[in-house]
Chain A
């Protein structure tokens, strides 16, 4: 069967599964809608957290980024897993004991302040929408390439599915769908990785395979072969980084603190029955995540090898048809600089500007011609990083069913994350903004209706982001993490670990962290992008890593303001003492 037919079958089957789960697990009360009734088993919550967390970025983009950047990719590997240690040790058990529904709930109650609650609501909505935009792009890429459906139609199908189970099922529906989506996505990620690991090294587990010798009879370690070939072609050395140590440190720290402060992750720990379950559930979540995260760098190393093998010095006319398909999708390009009809894959950007701008005409070998001017280096190939995971099975000539599986996994990753974020947005509006701020006399049934309405509106907005993607999606992701690190993380941490921490300190801390981080990112990304280089950064810290600086500022301001303002009321101090003890 063709890969396309198989993709239709796999995607159709998984979608049918998600819908069946949604019908089985409808939510009847706000408690079910927001926190699945608080009855989720810790293993199920771990799997749901993993699917919620691992987005299109983890599934589609991360291995691709590592394939190109090598050692620098460690900032994502460590940043997006190390945050779980902070979550498990410093936040999850205490927030579970607090036993409310949302992050603004905690901020508003702990700091006895509606102003703090509103700041928290704004942050939640901004962070979540930023994130959703990226998921919808992921859905669009998978649909357009594998099902040869128009991107817009693909996004609408994705929206329809999420609409069905998020609006109907709320957190309960989302949780059990996410468990299924985790199984789909991890299976789809591991199967091709194991396959390729066997092909290259004879070792089945990819996380060990990429530390083994290649099976071409040379007895060389795989990574040594990758490094050697890369050096020959003038590509960056895979096991060495080019980012400064300071920048790596700050970016990794921002991603960790950001992970621990992301509302859609935190809220998952409200869904388990006990404090003890919240602790162990973070552990299960990290095991499930680590399966993909320890595989990703192996996939990256394999991909670097396979790409060089498949492309370098090949005649365009003899390339397999995946090349022209991705070329048609606008994610691959070739410019025949030396006019030999063959691809030279070397270091440096092939085109100026970097992203290809296609003309309607075809070149001598049949390639799509470009409006870009060729650069002076020898590299002739442009490869978009986002296609590595999706294209790798084809590049490595794996069977069609594996190719189809990867597409279904990509959709599972993007949809599960989108649904989790939509729920956070809807609860921020119906619960935090309406019930707790604007319309305090809402009944449970009215609130539930509002929760569904706001989820529906949020889906439509998210879909529009997918159909008309703002050009700055990649730029704003740094925003989401930076803001979470500079706002929620310190405020929640101090709220648990200091009984003296008060309203004034929290608001001053959040505002200074937010304003500082936002201005730094906006300045370098939007106002003066031409200055966005290490020479101009403060202490050599890039906008990606500035959330760490914002977080430190938040801590310092909070601790200072705390000294000169009155302590919180006695009942708040008692509440803090109470959440520290499981019983």
Chain B
């Protein structure tokens, strides 16, 4: 049986091991990105919008109390930004690990 890659079995095995390692590294980088973005997500919405809302309401932000603004406006803007940061970072990761889908 001729193998299209032209590698002997030992090299193939090494190749697979490298690939598995690469995949693991990609997944770890993905998880790190995810966790850092989700912590911002949690701090802004559940933190500023709910848990600390009364404390933040002591400050004025234009015509809003700050905590009120976070819970009714700021958190939503943050969510949008988070998704776009995620998209940019994941696209960069895909290219770095050579797993992007091409055009």
What residues of chain A have their CB less than 8 Å away from a CB belonging to chain B? Answer: 66, 71, 73-74, 77-78, 81-82, 84-85, 88-90, 93, 207, 210-213, 221-224, 239-241, 245, 248-249, 252-253, 274-276, 279-280, 282-283, 286-287, 290, 293-294, 297, 577, 580-583
Contacts and interface: CB of A to CB of B under 8 A. Distances in A.
B46 A283 contact: no
Contacts of B16: none
Contact of B79 (A81, A93, A210, A245): A81
Contacts of A290: 76-77, 79-80
A212 B62 CA distance: 7
Interface in B18-59: 23, 26-27, 30, 34, 37-38, 41, 45-46, 49-51, 53, 57
Given A82-B79, A239-B68, A582-B99, A212 B63 contact: yes
A221 B64 CA distance: 8
Contacts of B50: 74, 78, 245, 248-249, 252
B94 to A, nearest CB: 6
B72 A297 contact: yes
Interface residues of B, number: 42
Contacts of B23: 577, 580-581
Contacts of B49: 74, 78, 252
A67 to B, nearest CB: 13
Given A73-B72, A249-B50, A279 B82 contact: no
B45 A283 contact: no
Contacts of A89: 34, 37-38, 82-83, 86
B26 to A, nearest CB: 7
Given A84-B79, A287-B80, A274 B101 contact: yes
Contact of B86 (A82, A212, A279, A577): A279
B12 interface: no
B42 to A, nearest CB: 9
B77 A294 contact: yes
B99 to A, nearest CB: 5
Contacts of B102: 583
B13 interface: no
B100 A583 contact: yes
Contacts of B64: 211, 223, 239
Interface string B68-91: 110111011101101110110011
A357 B68 CA distance: 37
B87 A293 contact: no
Contact of B101 (A66, A240, A582): A582
A239 B57 contact: yes
B92 to A, nearest CB: 12
B99 A581 contact: yes
Nearest to A221: B63
A486 to B, nearest CB: 19
B46 A293 contact: no
A196 to B, nearest CB: 16
B101 to A, nearest CB: 5
Contact of B63 (A85, A211, A241, A294): A211
Contacts of B79: 81-82, 84-85, 286, 290
Q: Which of B41, B53, B83, B86 has the largest count of A CB atoms less than 10 A from its CB? A: B83
Contacts of A580: 23, 27, 30
B101 A583 contact: yes
A224 B64 CA distance: 9
